[in-house]
Amino acid sequence: MENYKEFLEKTKKSKERYDELTLLIMKPEIIADNREWKKLVKEHNSLEDIANAYSSLLSLSQNLEKCEQDVENEQDQEMKALFENEIEELKEKIEKQIEEIRILLLPKDENDESNAILEIRSAAGGEESALFGLELLRMYTHFADKNRWKTEILDINETELGGIKECTVLFRGKGAYSKLKYESGVHRVQRVPETESQGRVHTSTATVAVLPEIEDIDFEILDSDLKIDTYRSGGAGGQHVNKTESAIRITHLPTGIVVTCQDERSQLKNKEKAMNILKSKLYDYYREQRDSEYEQNRKSQVGRGNRNERIRTYNYPQGRVTDHRTNLSSYDLEGVLNGNIEEFIDAMIIKERTELLANL
């Protein structure tokens, strides 16, 4: 059995900080400062699992030490055997707890607890790609419902047949980004399109990009760097959602990043939401500049939308969904499209953890 005292020492400071934050976030002066309160609550949430793991390991270790003393002092052989059995059970539990702590101590993405901004864009395949984009939107909406997240469509550009050329969705809920971030990449569909009269199987793709919703940023967005345009919100076929120019398009001139929002009838609210999307995109852009491992950033995940840059294939004739990063396949295509994608995400989490543990 590994030295549990070493792991108690490693996690003790986290538990002490967690307890300190528990008191801090209840203080009226902290609650009054909304920005500071949110910051501390975020830190508090990030330490909860490790603090609970420390408490569990401490309790198990105290019980183990007591049982070991009881064995030394016990004269009755039957009672001694019972204590020895309990010691073995406690050692097994301690081993499991240490393994959990080892995982909790792995480097974390600082944005894992954030809300997620998810973008879907049609790629190869024309109208069929846009229709597949709609299927992906439904899939993620169902997945959000299962996790009790709130879903908000910030911007959508539909085709005549009801498909999606591009769509931006906000998912609000604890840990939304920690799960959805694994969905970034090219999704490939193989099926007979509704528009195909010959009954031939076509291959199309749509890209998915996932960003954390960023509230606090460590860089300045200058008004002089922004070009803000207003236009009328529109739907498929040019049908105007309303008669006023409430939709917003913001261009960040230094980077060329463009964001749009037409969700609200209020121009002010659309501008606020568009600015939130811009913050997340700029955060991702500047993080990318600092990241020497280019393949880990959003652009490499999405690429150009070509068929050979896929992360997952949805094969309708075979009723099969395959994730090419983990080689995991599911033959429940309907279930997957109804939001049952947890097994693919769990497989990616295990893969990532395994690689991190191997590099420690």
pLDDT of residue 114: 87
Domains in the chain: boundaries: 4-104, 113-360
Taking only the tens place, the pLDDT of each residue in 74-114 is: 778 888 888 888 899 999 999 999 988 888 888 777 788 88
- What kind of architecture, by CATH, is found in domain 113-360? 2-Layer Sandwich (3.30)
Q: How confident is the model at residue 283 (pLDDT cuts 50, 70, 90)?
A: confident
Rounded CA separation 348/137 (Å)? 21
Sheet with 226-231, side-by-side order of all strands: 226-231, 247-252, 257-261
The closest of 161, 172, 176, 105 to 128, measured between CA atoms, is: 161
- At residue 320, the 3 state secondary structure works out as strand
pLDDT of residue 20: 95
| pLDDT greater than 60 at residue 355 | yes
Average pLDDT, the chain: 85
Handedness of CA 286, 288, 289, 290 (dihedral sign): positive
The tokens describing 356, both together, are 């991190």
| pLDDT greater than 90 at residue 360 | no
pLDDT of residue 89: 92
Q: With 0-12 CB in 10 A as exposed, 13-18 as middle and 19+ as buried, what is 220?
A: exposed
pLDDT of residue 112: 84
Q: How confident is the model at residue 290 (pLDDT cuts 50, 70, 90)?
A: low
pLDDT of residue 72: 85
Q: With 0-12 CB in 10 A as exposed, 13-18 as middle and 19+ as buried, what is 46?
A: middle
| pLDDT greater than 70 at residue 19 | yes
Average pLDDT of 171-191? 93
List the alpha helices (DSSP H) in 151-297: 176-180, 267-290
The closest of 304, 328, 119 to 208, measured between CA atoms, is: 119
